[in-house]
Structure 1
Amino acid sequence: MKKKYQYIVPTLLAFVLAVGIFIGGKLHFDDSPEKLFSTNSKKDKLNRLIDYIDYEYVDDIDTDSIVDVTVNNILGKLDPHSVYIPRSEMEEVSENMKGDFVGIGISFYMYRDTITVIRTIKNGPSHKSGIKAGDRILIADKDTLFGRRIANNEIVSTLKGKIGTKVDLKVFRKSDNRTLDVTVTRDRVPIRSVDSYYMLTSDMGYIKINRFAESTFGEFKDALRKLKLRGAEKLVLDLRDNPGGYLGIAEKLADEFLEDDKLILFTKNKKGRVKKAFATKKGDFEDKPVYVLINERSASASEIIAGALQDNDIGTIVGRRSFGKGLVQREMDLGDGSAVRLTVSRYYTPTGRSIQRSYKKGHRDYYQTFMERYRNGEMVSVDSIKVADSLKFVTPGGKIVYGGGGIIPDVFVPIGTNEEEAVESMDGAEFFSRFVFEHLEQDRTRYSYLSKNEFLDDFRVDDILFDEFIQFVLNRKISLDFYEQEDKIKDFLKANIAEQLFSPNLSAQIKGEHDAMLDKVKELDQDIFNQAEVGAIKLKD
Structure 2
Amino acid sequence: MRTRLVFLLAVFLLILPAGPAGAEGELYREEKAVAEVMDYLYRYHIARPDAQQLMQGAIDGLLNSVGDPYTEYFSAGELEDFARSLEGSFAGVGLELEACFPYPRVSGVFPGSPAFRAGIREGDLIVRVDGEETSGLDLARVAEKIRGPAGSRLWLTVRRGGSDFNVELTREVMSSPVVEGKILAGNIGYVKVHVFGSRTAGEFGALMREFQSRGIGGLVLDLRGDPGGYLQAAVDLAGYFLPSGQVVAITVDRNGREEVYSTAGENPDLDLPLAVLVDGMSASAAEVLAGALQEYHRAVLVGGRTYGKGVAQAIVPLEAGGALKITIARFLTPSGRSIDGRGIEPDRQVSVPSLQLVAACQELQPHLPRSVTFNFAGGVMVDGERVDAAVYPLVADGEIYIPLRFALEALGFNVQWHPDLKQISIRTGSRELILEPGSKTAFAGGKNFKLKNLTWREGNIYLPVSPLSLLGIKVQHDAGQLKLELLPDEAGIMIPVLNH
The equivalent residue for 1:414 is 351
- The answer to whether the 8 Å contact 2:87/2:195 transfers is no
Letter in 2 for 1:349: T
1:75 maps onto 2:63 in alignment:
yes
Q: Compute the displacement of 1:336 (Å).
A: 3.5
Query: How far apart are the structure 1 equivalents of 2:111 and 2:283?
Result: 30
Query: How far apart are the structure 2 equivalents of 1:37 and 1:193?
Result: 41
Pair 1:106–1:313, CA change in 2 (3 A): closer
Q: Compute the displacement of 1:189 (Å).
A: 8.0
- The answer to whether the 8 Å contact 2:188/2:216 transfers is yes
The equivalent residue for 1:109 is 114
Q: Compute the displacement of 1:83 (Å).
A: 2.5
1:231 maps onto 2:168 in alignment:
no
Query: Which structure has more strand as a fraction of its residues?
Result: 2
In structure 2, which of residues 280, 283, 286 is the aligned counterpart of residue 299 of structure 1?
283
Letter in 2 for 1:32: P
1:32 maps onto 2:29 in alignment:
no
Letter in 2 for 1:109: P
Query: How far apart are the structure 2 equivalents of 1:520 and 1:280?
Result: 36
Query: How far apart are the structure 2 equivalents of 1:515 and 1:491?
Result: 12
Q: Compute the displacement of 1:207 (Å).
A: 0.4
Query: How far apart are the structure 1 equivalents of 2:247 and 2:88?
Result: 28
The equivalent residue for 1:257 is 241
1:345 maps onto 2:329 in alignment:
yes
Query: How far apart are the structure 1 equivalents of 2:151 and 2:284?
Result: 32
Letter in 2 for 1:406: G
- The answer to whether the 8 Å contact 1:244/1:298 transfers is yes
- The answer to whether the 8 Å contact 1:259/1:286 transfers is no
Pair 1:487–1:286, CA change in 2 (3 A): closer
Q: Compute the displacement of 1:110 (Å).
A: 8.8
The equivalent residue for 1:96 is 85
Q: Compute the displacement of 1:333 (Å).
A: 1.9
Query: How far apart are the structure 1 equivalents of 2:254 and 2:194?
Result: 31
Pair 1:108–1:98, CA change in 2 (3 A): closer
- Structure 2 residue runs without a partner (length 5+): 1-13, 92-109, 121-147, 154-172, 357-376, 390-405, 414-427, 429-489, 491-500
Letter in 2 for 1:44: K
Query: How far apart are the structure 1 equivalents of 2:380 and 2:186?
Result: 29
Q: Compute the displacement of 1:319 (Å).
A: 1.6
- The answer to whether the 8 Å contact 2:190/2:219 transfers is yes
Q: Compute the displacement of 1:190 (Å).
A: 4.6
The equivalent residue for 2:150 is 153
Q: Compute the displacement of 1:354 (Å).
A: 0.4
- The answer to whether the 8 Å contact 1:319/1:517 transfers is no
Q: SS in structure 2 opposite 1:153?
A: coil
The equivalent residue for 1:323 is 307
Q: Compute the displacement of 1:293 (Å).
A: 0.7
- The answer to whether the 8 Å contact 1:107/1:117 transfers is no
In structure 2, which of residues 25, 39, 46 is the aligned counterpart of residue 58 of structure 1?
46
The equivalent residue for 2:8 is none
Deviations, residues 396-431 of structure 1 (Å, cap 9, x unaligned): xxxxxxxxx1111122223369xx99xxxxxxxxxx
- The answer to whether the 8 Å contact 1:331/1:339 transfers is yes
1:212 maps onto 2:204 in alignment:
no
Which of 263-272 and 220-229 deviates more? 220-229
Letter in 1 for 2:32: D
Pair 1:338–1:238, CA change in 2 (3 A): same
Deviations, residues 12-68 of structure 1 (Å, cap 9, x unaligned): xxxxxxxxxxxxxxxxx9862156396834323323332333334333213423433
Q: Compute the displacement of 1:288 (Å).
A: 2.2
Letter in 1 for 2:18: P
Pair 1:307–1:101, CA change in 2 (3 A): closer
Q: Compute the displacement of 1:486 (Å).
A: 9.2
Deviations, residues 174-220 of structure 1 (Å, cap 9, x unaligned): xxxxxxxxxxxxxx9854222x3101235321001122122222222
Q: Aligned runs of 1:388-403 on 2, under 5 Å?
A: none
Q: CA RMSD in A?
A: 4.2
Q: SS in structure 1 opposite 2:227?
A: coil
Pair 1:485–1:38, CA change in 2 (3 A): farther
Letter in 2 for 1:274: E
Pair 1:215–1:61, CA change in 2 (3 A): same
- The answer to whether the 8 Å contact 1:324/1:407 transfers is yes
Query: How far apart are the structure 2 equivalents of 1:485 and 1:319?
Result: 23
Residue identity over aligned pairs, in percent, reads: 27
- The answer to whether the 8 Å contact 2:303/2:351 transfers is yes
Letter in 2 for 1:64: Q
Q: Compute the displacement of 1:309 (Å).
A: 0.8
Pair 1:41–1:154, CA change in 2 (3 A): same
Q: Compute the displacement of 1:100 (Å).
A: 4.7
Q: SS in structure 1 opposite 2:34?
A: helix
1:85 maps onto 2:74 in alignment:
yes
Pair 1:101–1:292, CA change in 2 (3 A): closer
Deviations, residues 487-516 of structure 1 (Å, cap 9, x unaligned): 99x9879xxxxxxxxxxxxxxxxxxxx999
Query: How far apart are the structure 2 equivalents of 1:206 and 1:519?
Result: 21
In structure 2, which of residues 270, 274, 277 is the aligned counterpart of residue 290 of structure 1?
274
Pair 1:337–1:230, CA change in 2 (3 A): farther
Letter in 2 for 1:241: G
Q: SS in structure 1 opposite 2:324?
A: strand
Q: Compute the displacement of 1:484 (Å).
A: 5.3
Query: How far apart are the structure 1 equivalents of 2:243 and 2:255?
Result: 31
**For this pair of structures, how many residues does the alignment match?**
296
Letter in 2 for 1:55: R
Deviations, residues 425-460 of structure 1 (Å, cap 9, x unaligned): xxxxxxxxxxxxxxxxxxxxxxxxxxxxxxxxxxxx
Letter in 2 for 1:153: A
Query: How far apart are the structure 1 equivalents of 2:82 and 2:151?
Result: 17
Q: Compute the displacement of 1:259 (Å).
A: 0.6
The equivalent residue for 1:42 is 30
- The answer to whether the 8 Å contact 2:243/2:269 transfers is no
- The answer to whether the 8 Å contact 1:90/1:338 transfers is yes
Query: Which structure has more helix as a fraction of its residues?
Result: 1
Letter in 1 for 2:261: A
